[in-house]
Amino acid sequence: MTVQISAAFDSGNIRLIAIEDDRIDLEIVKDHESDFYQWFHFRAAGIRGRALTFRILNAGGSAYPDGWPGYRARISTDRQAWTTVDTRYAGGVLEFDWPASSDADADIAWFAYFAPYSMERHHDLVGRMAAMPGVAARQLGATLDGRPLDCLTLGEGAKTVWLYARQHPGETMAEWWMEGALDWLTDADNADAAALRRKATFHIVPNMNPDGSFRGHLRTNAAGVNLNREWHDPTPERSPEVLAVRNAMDQTGVTFAMDVHGDEAIPANFLAGFEGIPGWTDALGAKFYRFRDTLAERSALFQTRQGYATAPAGKANLSMSTNQLAERFGAVAMTLEMPFKDHEDLPDPATGWSPDRCRRLAHDCLANLAAMIDDL
């Protein structure tokens, strides 16, 4: 049987270049109206009994080629369980093989940069949460492709907390984290969650970039715009997603904010803060550092040794959400980064950094917030 390659589905991205015997040559497609690319997600059919090598020929020209060394592609035969597969990178080409362990008897397999979080699963999450007691769902606006921008609100406390994810749509670990956060907050048996809801009101945007998510983009929306460079001056034409969320934040104010992302190169979970904003104070910065450092004490899935360099005084980029919210509201704002590779302090050779561990890290983050909410 001839091997068949397809990416014509929710979050799919690949272009078939050639099939020569048992070698399949592919390219990742650029984000629309953009030069960014790195996210891939495709299925291969007609593979039973075959020993195949998949080659992504343009990996070396991707947005973050430093993300490929040490990276392992994800594979699934049921789109539920995702495992890693041995992956090689040399000469600008990324390679991985089929079969992978016990999957050899399957007719079809899916391959992805990270475990996908489809728009269908997003709608399931929003619907499930909207039916929970004490949760209100609203549409903040519409994307350029006409998709709803969903926000879930819960809690009744005076502190205002905003959690938002997937400004960069290919960073699917961010919405897996959101699923874990929502499950923790709505758990009727969780006394810490109940106490936190009494002290804080949460506004949660699980997916800031539905268009890019569906289109299979790495980093941009339908107009090819990086949403996390729009927070200083969002417009309906370029970044309606940011405009809708920032307008809603202006109405509520922001005490604490977390922007959830994934990082291609660093094999660790870490936080980036708002050093360098014009309105920096040591008192505000101390609250961020306390959250970061106590999270490292609480969670084996988090560390503080690796991360991004901080901006010099007065040099923060206010087009990025964390800096903009800290400056605009005096908020304790931060960016959470999770790896596409593995968390090297606690590696899992079978799954790498995984959806389950994204959800567990969300639980740890919220338990940490509950412990210090009174001091924000």
Give the residue numbers annotated as catalytic, written as ranges.
Answer: 337
Extended strands (E) in the chain: 4-6, 15-20, 23-27, 41-45, 52-56, 73-76, 83-85, 87-90, 93-98, 108-112, 135-142, 148-154, 159-165, 200-205, 256-263, 270-272, 332-339
Three-state SS string across 188-251, please?
CCCHHHHHHHHHEEEEEECCCCHHHHHHCCCCCCCCCCCHHHCCCCCCCCCCHHHHHHHHHHHH
Contacts of 298-303 spanning 24+ positions with Cβ under 8 A? 298/364, 298/367, 298/368, 299/361, 299/364, 299/365, 299/368, 300/345, 300/346, 301/269, 301/343, 301/346, 301/357, 301/360, 301/361, 301/364, 302/269, 302/270, 302/361, 302/364, 303/268, 303/269, 303/270, 303/345
